[in-house]
Structure formats: C-alpha cells, structure tokens
Chain A
Amino acid sequence: MKGLVFDAGPIISLTMNNLLWLLEPLRLKYGGQFIIPESVRVELIDQALESKKFKFEALQTQQYIRNGTLTVVNKKEIRDEALRLQKLANSAFSVRGQPVKIVHKGEMGVLATAKVQGADAVIIDERNTRELVEHPVHIAKIMRNRLHANVATNHSVLKKLRTELKGIKVLRSFELVTIAFEQGLLDRYIESKPELRKVLLESVLWGVKLNGCAVSDKEIHQVMKLERFA
C-alpha cells in the first residue's frame, strides 16, 4: 500500500509552525496514505488533551484524522512487531551491565507500521531514531562521548536490527516543507512577490528546525543552495 508513516515529531513541528494545513495538499499530491500508528495518535492527541498548553494543538491535529488526511492504523500485527523491534533496539547497548532503553514504543510503532504496510518511507524528525535506522553504531558513539562511560554494543542484536530496518527511507518535516515550497504551496505567504521566495524558504526551514526537527545549519545551507538561493 502506498503510504508514508508519520512519527509525532513532524506533526508537532508543522503544527507549531502553523503549517499543519500542508498535509492535505501534500497527501493529494502524493496519492497515497499519510499513516500514523495508534501509539503516535495517543502522543499527539490524548496526551496533549491532558495538558492545558497543547489542547488546541491536539484538536487541530484531530481534525486531520477526522477528515481522513491522516489515517490511524491499529493492528495487532503492528503492535507485536513494534514491541519486538523495541525489545531489540533497547537491548543493543548497555552501560555498566544495564541495557539502555533508547527508544519508545511510539517510534518503533512508526517503523513497524512502515514494515508491515510496506510504506514508501517514514517521516521522523528526531535524531536518535533516525540514527537507529541509518547508522546505529553512531548511537553508541554518542552515548560513549556524552555519558563518559563504557558502552557495550551487542553486535548480534545490532546486526539483526540492521536487517530488520534495512531499506526504510527516512524523511523529515524539513523535506516536506522543501517540497511544499518547490510546488508553490507556500506562495500564499509572499503574495506574488518573487523577491521574497528566498526569505520564505529560509523561514520555513528554520521554523521546522527550531520546533524540533533535527537538522543542521549546514543542511539548511545545502537546501538553500539546491534551490539556488546560495
């Protein structure tokens, strides 16, 4: 099934930038489903509704579930797979003999959904889950440097994890807003003033970064260059 699976982070980043509305036109352009696992729905809606500060953001997100822009998937097969991946990932590294729980069921729910549903990609903003998919050994390096402790890696678990997660492409809200810019979806903000296009792109790229997307200044510069603004 043609689909992109979203973690909570990109939805949060888009919401905080008043860009959640982009999901509808992007989904139409994509021609498939924008999927969130039930665990992500709980984080985005249920947990936010319990807070005072993010109730309205929860309602905004809920609207996009109600109108079918975001499809919630809640299958036992996915939950079981998420649990299995979570157990694997959380046994990959240990410090002082203690396994370190590096990932949450929400994030593994995203990866499990992508695997089970045969999705094109996952949309994940946070760094560590992305590293788990693309460069898991780097997580051990991060932990070693930051914790100043010996980090033991279970290489057989890591190898198994690599096999399980092989082929999963990771995009971020950063790439979504770049595509939205390229397709003119953001032109409403510059009222046919082409001289503001550079400002527009820069502003949305920094906007998603400053609301949680793990992207470097260097990558922002790369995209600005790609779009011929640098």
Chain B
Amino acid sequence: MVPVLNAMLKYVVWQGDNMKAIVKRDILSVLKKAQLALQKKDSDMMKRTSNETIHNASIFQDQGSISIAVLTYAMSKLMHRDLLDPKRAQATLQMAEHQLNENDVKAFTNTIHVFMDHIAKVDRKFPEYVMNVTEFAHLKKACLMCKHGISVAQAADASGKTQWELLPIVASQSFNNEASPDVPARQRVKWAREFFK
C-alpha cells in the first residue's frame, strides 16, 4: 500500500465496531446512489452524490463520513477521466453495502481500504492524483462545512486540516461575501478608532 494511502486511510476511522445508526443509514444511502451513478456511467451524478454527503459530514463531523464524501468525489473524478473500472467499483460498493447492512463495520472498513488501495494501483501516478484530489476534496468539503454554518476552526479540525490551509479557500467562496446583518463596517471602524486613538 503506497505511503500516501496510510495518511489518507487514517481518515477512514470509526470507533471500533461502532457506527451511529444515523451515520450508517446515510452511508448506505450514499453507497446506493454511487452504485446507480456507476450503472448510468454518470460522473456528474457521482459528483452530486459527493456533494450531498457533505450535509452528513457537516452534521455528524465524523471523519469517516467526510472520507466517504471524499471517496465519492474521487470516484467522480476518476469516472470523468475514464480511469475507474466500473465493474470492480460496482462489486466493491455492493459488498460494502452488504457488510454495512450486516453491521460488520470492520469488514466494511477493510473493503473501503482495499478499494482505495486498488484506486492507487490503477495508475502509477495515481497516488499523487488521488492525494491531490483527496487533499483538495478534504479542503473543499471543509469549506462546504463552513458554508453550512460550522466555524472555520471546527471545520478544519473535523477534516484534519489546519486553518492556515483552509482560510484562503474559504475566502474565495461566495458565502464569505455576506455582510454582517447587524453591525455595519462603519460601526466596527468607529470602535477600532476609539481603541487606537
């Protein structure tokens, strides 16, 4: 397993055999949608599925939920580049779904690990691409958490990133362009002038 995956796989963590029922339900829903996207060979649908999972990641802030969001995002990128073996992906997701339905979280986690390992072996340069995708995807997903009302520090912590990495990306998002509803800039400047006179 390539070293970069070890770093990535630390994100695929659930506490032992425990997974909250509500998290499980939502991951199962994601797996079903991902399989449908594979059947339809629809990378846009896969991407939409990835975006929907951010709602769960924002709510649960479970790094495993974030990783599933990242995985579906990575799959959409691979589909777009025609680098994903759809049969293998389909079989893996079906197995993962079955294992999760059977409450075998360990086996489910292992299936996801093996699948990520396979993705890395598809292309020699792929680990770099996957790393970039997952790194960027983690940042992007953290960014979406901020959009949903989660603070930057909390989003950074939940996604394993630092504020140094996240802030410039948050800055470019349209939601960061909203004025304060209660305190206009003029008032803040007035306060600042009082402090620094």
Residues 32-63 of chain B, each 1 if its beta carbon lies under 8 Å from chain A, else 0: 00000000000000000000000100111100
**Which among B78-86, B124-132, B187-195 touches the partner chain?**
B187-195
Residues 126-165 of chain A, each 1 if its beta carbon lies under 8 Å from chain B, else 0: 1111111011001110110011110000000000000000
A173-230: which have CB < 8 Å to B? 174-176, 178-179, 182-183, 209-219, 222-223, 226
A96: chain B residues at CB < 8 Å are 22, 59
Measured CA separation A53–B167 after assembly (Å):
14
Measured CA separation A4–B193 after assembly (Å):
14
- With A53-B165, A169-B191, A222-B186: A95-B59 Cβ-Cβ less than 8 Å: yes
Number of A-B contacts (CB under 8 A): 174
Asked whether, in the complex, the Cβ of A147 is within 8 Å of the Cβ of B55, the reply is: yes
From B156, B170, B189, residue with most partner A Cβ within 10 Å: B189
Find the B residue at minimum CB distance from A149.
B55
> Is B149 close to A, CB under 8 A?
yes
Asked whether, in the complex, the Cβ of B188 is within 8 Å of the Cβ of A175, the reply is: yes
A54: chain B residues at CB < 8 Å are 162, 164-165
Quote the shortest CB–CB distance from A6 to chain B (angstroms).
13
Measured CA separation A26–B148 after assembly (Å):
34
A222: chain B residues at CB < 8 Å are 184-186
Measured CA separation A9–B166 after assembly (Å):
10
Asked whether, in the complex, the Cβ of B180 is within 8 Å of the Cβ of A26, the reply is: no
- Interface residues on chain A, number (Cβ under 8 Å): 75
Find the A residue at minimum CB distance from B183.
A134
- With A13-B167, A134-B183, A219-B179: A126-B153 Cβ-Cβ less than 8 Å: yes
A129: chain B residues at CB < 8 Å are 151
Asked whether, in the complex, the Cβ of A100 is within 8 Å of the Cβ of B164, the reply is: no
> Is A101 close to B, CB under 8 A?
yes
A48: chain B residues at CB < 8 Å are 162, 164
Asked whether, in the complex, the Cβ of B182 is within 8 Å of the Cβ of A29, the reply is: no
Residues 42-70 of chain A, each 1 if its beta carbon lies under 8 Å from chain B, else 0: 01000110010110010000000000000
Measured CA separation A74–B27 after assembly (Å):
40
Asked whether, in the complex, the Cβ of A4 is within 8 Å of the Cβ of B146, the reply is: no
Asked whether, in the complex, the Cβ of A214 is within 8 Å of the Cβ of B151, the reply is: no
Asked whether, in the complex, the Cβ of B164 is within 8 Å of the Cβ of A215, the reply is: no
Contact of B164 among A12, A139, A170, A210 (CB under 8 A): A12
Contact of B59 among A98, A103, A106, A211 (CB under 8 A): A98
B179: chain A residues at CB < 8 Å are 215-216, 218-219
Asked whether, in the complex, the Cβ of A57 is within 8 Å of the Cβ of B164, the reply is: yes
Interface residues of B (CB under 8 A from A): 22, 55, 58-61, 146-154, 156-158, 162-165, 167-168, 170-172, 175-186, 188-189, 191-193, 195-196
In the A-B complex, list the 8 residue pairs whose CB atoms are closest, starting with the nearest. Answer: A212-B167, A104-B153, A219-B185, A216-B179, A104-B154, A143-B149, A126-B152, A175-B192
